Structure 1
Amino acid sequence: MSAQNPAVTARVALVTCAELPHLDEDESVPIAPLAARGIAAEPAVWNDRSVDWDVYDLAIIRSTWDYTDHHAEFVAWAETVPRLANPADVVRWNSDKTYLRDLAAAGVPVVPTIWIEPDSTLTLPNDGRYVVKPAISAGSRNTGLYDMADASQRALAAGLATQLLAEGRTVMVQPYLEAVDTAGETAVLFVGGHYSHAIRKGALLDGPADEVGLYKVEDIRPRTASDSELHAAQLALAAVPGGAERLLYARVDLIPGPDGHPVLLELELTEPSLFLRYDEGAAERFADAVAAYLKR
């Protein structure tokens, strides 16, 4: 067997959704580096009942971006997969953004959030620009930016929130961090517990919620994470229940706050894009991390 074609020693599922049966473009990038390490990787749809998850040495959640419409089913599925990355208890905790409460309580600098539960009275701020979205969401779906001083926009915000609450969903109301319009958002990527690379994401929201497919197209560029961003990312990872050492991958999304210091927008441990195409060597680092994970 040549060095270019080593014997297959492990079989891995790259878990996706029915809308992307062959994976998102970024998620197929590590297949070749994995093969070079003797790891055969193939896409598998999470809710395809014909898939036998027992045949895989590891199932890695990737582009399962429809899970927000089937959250209970998705979490239940995760708990049935014998070898899953990230682990099922992490998926349960992280797939509902109420995890931000835990991180804030642990001292992580988190975007201030007003939480509105389905059985509570809807009260919105009277001034300022705010983002309204459900606690279980992905890809900026059901998410909008509203100027609360404008009566028509405030009414639209109330309409979105009322609709979500009627569906039994927890609503999040967060101040819009203006720095995203200039500095953008930094996503800090970790694989195998180590910093891998970072990217810059441009602002996504420009007004009230509108129809979105699986996700909004993003403006992505390479970026080097600053020391303060790395510090904030490490603080977030240190607060993960059960310990961050169990994670195969993590993405920490940060935006400068009003004082310029980074604050956490999201800690993505379930199905984040890892943007492996945007950094030379990132796919290889991911493949190395998978190989190490398989040896645990």
Structure 2
Amino acid sequence: MRVVLASCAGLPEGDGDEESLLAALARDGVDVAWQPWGTPVEADLVVLRATWDYTERLDDFLAWCGTVPALANPLPVVRWNTDKSYLAELAARGVPVVPTAVVEPGAEPSFPDGEFVVKPAVGAGSRGAGRFTDHAAARAHLESLGVKALVQPYQSSVDEHGETALVFFAGEYSHSFHKGPMLAQGLAEAESGLYVEERLAGIEPSARQVELAEQVLDVAAELLSVPRTGLLYARVDVVEGPDGSPLLLELELTEPTLGFKFTTEAAASRFAKAIQEAASRA
């Protein structure tokens, strides 16, 4: 069995988070290798991992995904998930989502009171995201982006509690990790050029966070007309709302960091098993 982990030219072998996954696959006798996206690939399964420059060439990226015979997650999922407007679709289905307004290029935005976030609808690693109170500065940022964007009230709980990322493999909960606050006032700074450096650590989620994450996956699977097991990997990022209830910040189905560095080796083994089962079905 041959498995390819898709990366990008800037990080051809990822950022090191998948070392335990590579070891787990190798122990199981899987021929696994990294390969930057954009070139022909032959494998029983291609798993999107560190493809973090796709935001600059989304059409090329989606076209390449369409040439891959066995891709995880599959092209229809990737096409839907690479535009964060999906948050409005999930909210319309009753998912508790951080309030999200979608602003088309050239449209007049309506900014919320207090602090708020402006970020491109197609983006990865928090690049292009900004935290504002000044409407003029936020409008200038929107104009500089020149693309569809999202406007969301900033959840002040993030400053104290950060975000919780809940990771699922083949529709089943695996583990969680904590993400510290990243956005100071103004624009996020991408130290690597591909993503904003995050402060990460292992964490145990609350029962309400797990319940929300389960709801998110159920609704997303229904919207995409796929079984939950058809989502080889998923990361559900949640924050605490003003009343203390968890809210969905993002659902990552394309190329999320999965936090193997911040949990036990059992998580990598679970993902390795899910990859092999998906490859055998492809």
Question: How many residues align structurally?
Answer: 274
Q: Distance in 1 between matches of 2:189 and 2:58?
A: 20
Q: Name 2:17's counterpart in structure 1.
A: 26
Task: Tell whether 2:54 aligns with 1:88.
Answer: no
Please give the secondary structure, in 1, of the residue aligned with 2:161: coil
Amino acid at match of 2:76: D
Whether the aligned pair in 2 keeps the contact of 1:130 and 1:174 (CA below 8 Å) is: yes
Q: Distance in 1 between matches of 2:253 and 2:4?
A: 17
Which 10-residue stretch deviates more, 112-121 or 87-96?
Answer: 112-121
Q: Name 2:215's counterpart in structure 1.
A: 235
Whether the aligned pair in 2 keeps the contact of 1:122 and 1:162 (CA below 8 Å) is: no
Amino acid at match of 1:113: T
Whether the aligned pair in 2 keeps the contact of 1:132 and 1:171 (CA below 8 Å) is: yes
Q: Name 1:283's counterpart in structure 2.
A: 268
Please give the secondary structure, in 2, of the residue aligned with 1:218: coil
> What does the per-residue CA deviation read over 1:11-31, in whole Å, with 9 as the maximum and x for residues that have no partner?
011000000012211033311
Amino acid at match of 1:191: F
Whether the aligned pair in 1 keeps the contact of 2:176 and 2:203 (CA below 8 Å) is: yes
Whether the aligned pair in 2 keeps the contact of 1:124 and 1:158 (CA below 8 Å) is: no
Whether the aligned pair in 2 keeps the contact of 1:191 and 1:289 (CA below 8 Å) is: yes
Q: Distance in 1 between matches of 2:83 and 2:7?
A: 19
Structure 1 residue 292: deviation in Å? 1.7
Please give the secondary structure, in 2, of the residue aligned with 1:76: helix
Amino acid at match of 2:225: G
Q: Name 1:39's counterpart in structure 2.
A: 30
Structure 1 residue 34: deviation in Å? 0.1
Task: Map 1:223-262 onto structure 2 (within 5 A).
Answer: 223-240=203-220, 241-243=224-226, 244-262=228-246
Task: Map 1:6-21 onto structure 2 (within 5 A).
Answer: 10-21=1-12
Structure 1 residue 173: deviation in Å? 0.8
Please give the secondary structure, in 2, of the residue aligned with 1:267: strand
Q: Name 1:268's counterpart in structure 2.
A: 252
- Flag as ranges the 4+ runs of structure 1 deviating above 4 A: none
Q: Name 1:217's counterpart in structure 2.
A: 197
Please give the secondary structure, in 1, of the residue aligned with 2:17: helix
Q: Distance in 2 between matches of 1:206 and 1:23?
A: 27
Which 10-residue stretch deviates more, 170-179 or 153-162?
Answer: 153-162
Structure 1 residue 211: deviation in Å? 4.4
Q: Distance in 2 between matches of 1:122 and 1:276?
A: 39
Give identity over the alignment, percent.
Answer: 46
- Tell me how large the CA RMSD over aligned residues is: 1.2
Q: Which runs of 5+ in 1 are unaligned?
A: 1-9, 148-152
Q: Name 1:133's counterpart in structure 2.
A: 119
Q: Which runs of 5+ in 2 are unaligned?
A: none
Please give the secondary structure, in 2, of the residue aligned with 1:32: helix
Which 10-residue stretch deviates more, 204-213 or 92-101?
Answer: 204-213
Task: Tell whether 2:141 aligns with 1:156.
Answer: no
TM-score, normalization by structure 2? 0.94
Structure 1 residue 80: deviation in Å? 1.3
Q: Distance in 1 between matches of 2:110 and 2:233?
A: 37
Please give the secondary structure, in 2, of the residue aligned with 1:21: coil
Task: Map 1:83-232 onto structure 2 (within 5 A).
Answer: 83-125=70-112, 127-147=113-133, 153-164=134-145, 167=146, 169-212=147-190, 213-232=193-212
Task: Tell whether 2:46 aligns with 1:59.
Answer: yes
Whether the aligned pair in 1 keeps the contact of 2:171 and 2:217 (CA below 8 Å) is: no
Q: Distance in 2 between matches of 1:27 and 1:154?
A: 41
Whether the aligned pair in 1 keeps the contact of 2:188 and 2:196 (CA below 8 Å) is: no
Whether the aligned pair in 2 keeps the contact of 1:144 and 1:208 (CA below 8 Å) is: yes
